[in-house]
Amino acid sequence: MNLHIFPTPQELSQEAAAYVSRLSAEAIAARRRFTVALSGGSLPKVLSPPLVSEPLRSQTDWSGWRVFFADERCVRLTHPDSNYRLVLEELFSYVDIPRNQIYALNDSLPPAQAAESYQTTLQQVFQPDPNQFPRFDLILLGMGPDGHTASLFPNHPLLSETERWVAPIFDSPKPPPERITLTLPVINNARQVAFLAAGAGKIDMLPQVLQRDAPPTLPSQMVHPTNGKLHWFVDKAAAAKLVN
């Protein structure tokens, strides 16, 4: 695990955006595309401003991006709760990612069918070997004050999922209750996973999640790439209770 602590949220934002742009360039050079999954919540608002500003906006080859969502609320894409709408407002509206390379929830389907449809889209784009999970270049995540990430919540049965790539949720403790989410095997198969955590609201949970000397129980703690790298980008306020 790579822990990066920054004095201010603005410096965190700048460094995280530079990291994303650098990974994008490396992936496109190696594989001619950059496959990335984004979360909602505060992440787009933290990450996007430097990405849509110079010099990163011009330095980034947006045409090579293939964008997915680590989780999505089962609402219309135009609804205020939609992660797609949030990222559209913060990122997609400012950069030239081809719209057919942005893979949104089919908002006309109920949760179970929407999850199946999204998994089919992943299969078509990634085309992994049989019995293999898709391998994202980067999955960007946030962490809730309860330690949840994507739409994987503490003590939820989905934490034990080993086969599905995308799963529906009908009982999210945070509204809206119906969602779809990437599962832990997919997240942990990524080449890179990065958490962005800023603000004093993360101060109590962060030390628990970063503790590695006990079996993990919290969803964010269970994110540990099997053959990739894990980064945490945090600000000083969130890291105030970490023991040096």
Residue 207 domain boundaries? 21-193+203-227
Q: Kindly report the CA angle at 166 between 74 and 186, in degrees rounded to 5?
A: 135
Span 98-141, pLDDT tens digits: 999 999 999 999 999 999 999 999 999 999 998 899 999 999 99
Q: Return the CA Rg of the chain.
A: 17
Tokens of 185: 């095997």
Structural domain includes residue 68: yes
Structural domain includes residue 12: no
Picking from 10, 2, 96, the residue whose alpha carbon sits closest to that of residue 52 is 96
Structural domain includes residue 94: yes
pTM, full prediction = 0.96
Structural domain includes residue 187: yes
Give the Cα separation of 9 and 12 in Å (integer): 5
Domain count along the chain: 1
Span 181-221, pLDDT tens digits: 999 999 999 999 999 999 999 999 999 999 876 788 899 99
Query: Positive or negative, the Cα torsion across 235, 236, 240, 242?
Result: positive
Give the Cα separation of 108 and 119 in Å (integer): 16
Structural domain includes residue 127: yes
Structural domain includes residue 10: no
Those residues with Cβ within 8 angstroms of residue 198's Cβ, 6 or more apart along the chain or in another chain = 9, 12, 42, 46, 234, 235, 237, 238
Span 10-34, pLDDT tens digits: 999 999 999 999 999 999 999 999 9
Structural domain includes residue 122: yes
Report how far apart, in Å, the C-alpha atoms of 75 and of each of 82, 106, 111, 116, 178 are. Answer: 6, 10, 10, 16, 8
CATH number of the domain bearing residue 50? 3.40.50.1360
Structural domain includes residue 87: yes
- Helix/strand/coil (H/E/C) assignment for every residue in 117-132: HHHHHHHHHHCCCCCC
Q: Flag whether pLDDT at 240 surpasses 90.
A: yes
